[in-house]
Chain A
Amino acid sequence: MNENFEQCLKCTVCTVYCPVVPVNTDFPGPKQAGPDGERYRLKAGLFYDDTLKYCLNCKRCEVACPSGILIGDIIQKAKMKYGPQKTKLRDAMLAETDFMGSVATVFAPIANPVLAARPVKAVMDSVLKIDHRRTFPKYSGQKFVTWFRKNMAAGQEKYPKKAVYFHGCYVNYNYPALGKDLVAVMNALGYGISLIDGEKCCGTALIANAMGKRALRQARHNVKAIESASDAGRLPVISTSSTCSFTIRDEYPHVLGVDNGKIRENVSLAVKFIYSLVENGEVKLVFKPGYRSKVAYHAPCHMEKLGWNIFSEELLKMIPGLDLTVLDSNCCGIAGTYGFKKENYEKSQAIGKPLFDQIGKVAPDFIACDCETCKWQLEMSTPYKVKNPVTILAEALDLDATAKANNHQ
């Protein structure tokens, strides 16, 4: 992708849809931070403005832009190229999800209460500048990968079709239950699941924290690993995280310059993949009689950028007895590691407030959402649980009957 800032017509539409501008007047706005600032930065790096760190990388500016400028990409690249080259310990801790996850999983019985304890939060707040009001995601005692290898891997050969699962850090370290749901649903549809040998974090947090070199290394590694796991892109690669999919498909080539040409088309989200199977008549879904739920769907920013929220919505609409409200397009404010930082906490909550208010008015049984960090934010900021659409599907489907309908046991 070329630098396309010269296509900017200065129409200012992006500034209308930036979630940061209304709550933080220190942020110069996407037009100034992106295409306008880029002209100066190309002249000399000293024109780099440190306030670019307030960008959420939500890409709402890109969705709004009538000229197709990759405004968010311009800002992320500028942060890596011209921003401070030393990473703060705090930012590294938040961004190194694999390292932190591996350690915390082993010590989960200790790590969870410790991370939730008030004195610890006070220390993290004052020393590391991780806001004490933030609730930490719990670590699981057993990694998803360990569970899968021990219990499921052997049985996957018997399914007639194959799909590769990019589970991501959240499923592996924090919430293996979502990965288990994915395996159950895909197996019922006749797909055997395989994992990616040596899968690493997609690197979204590294990009957001301007740790470009680490992100680049990880992206190169993942593209190779996915190529080999997917038979050079011939097998479908699905994930349950909108941000992981988005990062691998678009941030790798656009922001990091990593060629993912062999795999890009086949890297998808489970909801889009399953929707297409149903739409093309390749699989049948059999739902439990008597399933009832009132659901509010929140489309994560990266899901809107992918343009795939419609697939989650349409899939949820297929479930009889599910009463769906699609929430207004609004960033929840967490933006991955952004909302954990002390300097951003209040802004983060202010960005999400209209969304929290609307959810309160809808009063659903639970919220549906494709993103794990939105989940943390919404579960902390509203009284409702958040479920991935794949989990909702797993709960609503009669899995045995679905398996039978798709001609296998």
Chain B
Amino acid sequence: MKFDVVIIGGGLAGLTCGISLQRKGRRCAIVSAGQSALHFSSGYFDFLDRTADGKAVENPLDAVSALPEGHPYRKIGVEDLERYMGEVKPLFAGCGIELKGDWSRNCYRITPVGGVCPSWLCLGEFTPFTTAQAEVGRNVMVVNIPGYMDFNARFVAAGLEKRGAACRIVDVTVDELSGLRANPSEMRSSNIARLMDSGHVAVRFAEAVRMKLSGEDAVVLPAVFGLKDSSVPQKVAEIIGVRTEYVATMTPSVPGIRTQMRLRAAFERLGGTYILGDTVMPSEIRDGRVVCLSTVNFGNEKLYADAFVLAAGSFFSNGLAASRECVTEPVFGLDVHAADDRSKWGDMDFFKRQEYIGFGVKSDADFHAVKDGVSVSNLYVAGSVAGGYNPIAEGSGAGTAIMSAMSVAEHIISKIG
């Protein structure tokens, strides 16, 4: 089967790249081994949250020059970064995904445990707070849905109180949730959201919240609304009648799943082929080029393309594999950035910077993958499989995924055609 471009990996990087290419008329296939990390999204896209010494970044572009050489942002350069950043909101809007926030500045978000973190843009139901106070209201009602374990109302309330709000935790439920509650393992965000998507349940729930109000000027709810219908969070807020803030839950992430589904649908609407649940087999690089890929399911039927993009994610998605001794890239055996000294891979203090998070495939200035020290002319890397940056320590996961994907798409169009 022949395509212009075959992309390995169907998450944020792979889909952004695929959508950008399809919009320019290139015929793409995405091969994805299972669902992506968007299913664990906080609902916020980070660009560059913290400097190397841990200070919150206000204007991310200003902080790019201080990043180490070899960082994806340094490869792209401030000029192109600025152009891509301006294109992100329209690109996502074209896929039916509302992104809020000023792309030239960082915002703040409330974390699932009630803290505050810098971030960049956010999905429609969230608020891009402009100060680190992230003030929700003076008197806040934090809603707990009894039986739902993946949102901790007490942590959230404690965080808000630390920043000066008075909080009251209130249990709210509706009869329709009782079936789920009876099941010891399936009272999950996606199942609650599915019920809420059928309009009347969300309305009844919102009315129940409003009834419990006693003078509060704001309400905090877990982000379990709007799995398919993104208008549900707004409708709920309108019925409640006071300021309503949604806070991310533990996995699965309802806003993240919705985003994944819409990106994939947009890619397919543009004529892209999305192959889910298949794994690319170890493949050959011949004369500095990739000719074709084999997959587990396709067997003898190979995937041919002019260009290939490796956007397979990091360790979690098996884009990288680690043994006790070394870190490898399993499809092509590409060169990998990793500390030679095994004791430097991680820090015993979990909350410290973990070096292994920054391991990844080596690439040249145009994101061509490198094998045995030589660039592969038609193989690019995008997203967290690429090395040279630490998305957790920096807070740069979504930004690097989107920026490297847009950059790779542009290279492919200008160099390969």
B282 CB to closest chain A CB, in angstroms? 15
Does chain A have a CB within 8 A of B35? Answer: yes
What A residues does B297 contact at CB under 8 A? 306-308
Does chain A have a CB within 8 A of B36? Answer: yes
Name the segment of B59-67, B273-281, B325-333, B403-411 touching the other chain. B273-281
What A residues does B318 contact at CB under 8 A? 66-68
Q: Do A13 and B252 have beta carbons less than 8 Å apart? A: yes
Q: Do B194 and A22 have beta carbons less than 8 Å apart? A: yes
Interface residues of B in 338-386 (CB under 8 A from A): none
A314-B277 CB under 8 A given contacts A13-B252, A16-B190, A64-B34: no
A307-B191 CB under 8 A given contacts A15-B252, A68-B34: no
Q: Do B191 and A22 have beta carbons less than 8 Å apart? A: yes
A283-314 CB contact bits vs B (8 Å, 1 = yes)? 00000000000000000000011111011001
What A residues does B300 contact at CB under 8 A? 265, 276
Bound CA span A307–B273, Å: 12
A265 contacts which of B185, B188, B299 (Cβ < 8 Å)? B299
Q: Do A15 and B190 have beta carbons less than 8 Å apart? A: yes
Interface residues of A in 20-43 (CB under 8 A from B): 21-22, 25-29, 31-32, 36
The number of chain B residues touching the other chain, given as a range, is 35 or more
Query: Closest residue of chain B to A67, judged by CB?
Result: B34
Q: Do B179 and A25 have beta carbons less than 8 Å apart? A: yes
What A residues does B275 contact at CB under 8 A? 307, 310
A48 CB to closest chain B CB, in angstroms? 15
What A residues does B298 contact at CB under 8 A? 307
Interface of B is mostly: loop
Q: Do B33 and A66 have beta carbons less than 8 Å apart? A: yes
B209 CB to closest chain A CB, in angstroms? 23
B123 CB to closest chain A CB, in angstroms? 17
Bound CA span A334–B276, Å: 22
A25-B182 CB under 8 A given contacts A66-B317, A276-B301: yes
Query: Closest residue of chain B to A22, judged by CB?
Result: B194
Q: Which of A16, A17, A307, A311 has the most CB of B within 10 A?
A: A16
Q: Do A25 and B277 have beta carbons less than 8 Å apart? A: no
Does chain A have a CB within 8 A of B104? Answer: no
Interface residues of A, count at CB 8 A:
38
Query: Closest residue of chain A to B296, judged by CB?
Result: A307
Count of A-B residue pairs with CB < 8 Å: 101
Bound CA span A139–B194, Å: 40
Q: Do B251 and A68 have beta carbons less than 8 Å apart? A: no
Does chain A have a CB within 8 A of B180? Answer: yes
Bound CA span A11–B1, Å: 33
Q: Do B191 and A21 have beta carbons less than 8 Å apart? A: yes
Q: Do B186 and A17 have beta carbons less than 8 Å apart? A: no
Does chain A have a CB within 8 A of B39? Answer: yes
B271-305 CB contact bits vs A (8 Å, 1 = yes)? 00101111100000000000000011111110000
A248 CB to closest chain B CB, in angstroms? 14
Bound CA span A203–B363, Å: 50
Q: Do A66 and B34 have beta carbons less than 8 Å apart? A: yes
A68 contacts which of B40, B276, B279 (Cβ < 8 Å)? B279
Bound CA span A391–B295, Å: 28
What A residues does B191 contact at CB under 8 A? 15, 21-22
Does chain A have a CB within 8 A of B240? Answer: no
B277 contacts which of A22, A26, A64 (Cβ < 8 Å)? A64
Bound CA span A4–B145, Å: 34
Bound CA span A259–B34, Å: 26
Bound CA span A307–B275, Å: 7
A314-B1 CB under 8 A given contacts A304-B277, A307-B295: yes
Does chain A have a CB within 8 A of B219? Answer: no
Interface residues of B in 159-189 (CB under 8 A from A): 179-180, 182-186, 188
Does chain B have a CB within 8 A of A372? Answer: no
Does chain B have a CB within 8 A of A63? Answer: yes
Does chain B have a CB within 8 A of A62? Answer: yes
Bound CA span A11–B36, Å: 11
A307-B34 CB under 8 A given contacts A21-B191, A28-B183, A32-B185: no
Does chain B have a CB within 8 A of A100? Answer: no
A55 CB to closest chain B CB, in angstroms? 13
B229 CB to closest chain A CB, in angstroms? 13
Bound CA span A25–B185, Å: 10
Does chain A have a CB within 8 A of B257? Answer: yes
What A residues does B36 contact at CB under 8 A? 66
What A residues does B34 contact at CB under 8 A? 13, 63-68
Q: Do B278 and A25 have beta carbons less than 8 Å apart? A: no
Does chain B have a CB within 8 A of A110? Answer: no
Q: Do B39 and A26 have beta carbons less than 8 Å apart? A: no
Does chain B have a CB within 8 A of A12? Answer: yes
Q: Do B185 and A17 have beta carbons less than 8 Å apart? A: no
A333 CB to closest chain B CB, in angstroms? 16
What B residues does A12 contact at CB under 8 A? 39, 188, 251-252
Bound CA span A17–B35, Å: 10
Query: Closest residue of chain B to A354, judged by CB?
Result: B228
Does chain B have a CB within 8 A of A9? Answer: yes
Q: Which of B183, B273, B276 has the most CB of A within 10 A?
A: B183
A189-225 CB contact bits vs B (8 Å, 1 = yes)? 0000000000000000000000000000000000000
Q: Do A68 and B33 have beta carbons less than 8 Å apart? A: yes
A305-B277 CB under 8 A given contacts A16-B39, A66-B34: yes
Query: Chain A: residues with CB nearer than 8 A to chain B?
Result: 9, 11-13, 15-17, 21-22, 25-29, 31-32, 36, 62-68, 265, 268, 272, 275-276, 279, 304-308, 310-311, 314
Enumerate 19 A-B pairs (CB-CB under 8 Å) in ascending A order. Answer: A13-B39, A15-B252, A16-B252, A21-B186, A25-B186, A26-B183, A27-B183, A27-B186, A29-B186, A32-B184, A36-B185, A66-B317, A66-B318, A276-B301, A306-B297, A307-B297, A307-B298, A310-B275, A314-B1
10 nearest CB pairs, A to B? A307-B297, A63-B277, A66-B34, A32-B185, A25-B179, A16-B190, A307-B278, A25-B183, A29-B186, A13-B35
- With A16-B190, A32-B184, A32-B186 known, 10 other A-B pairs at CB within 8 A are A12-B188, A12-B251, A16-B35, A26-B183, A32-B185, A64-B35, A65-B34, A68-B33, A307-B295, A310-B1
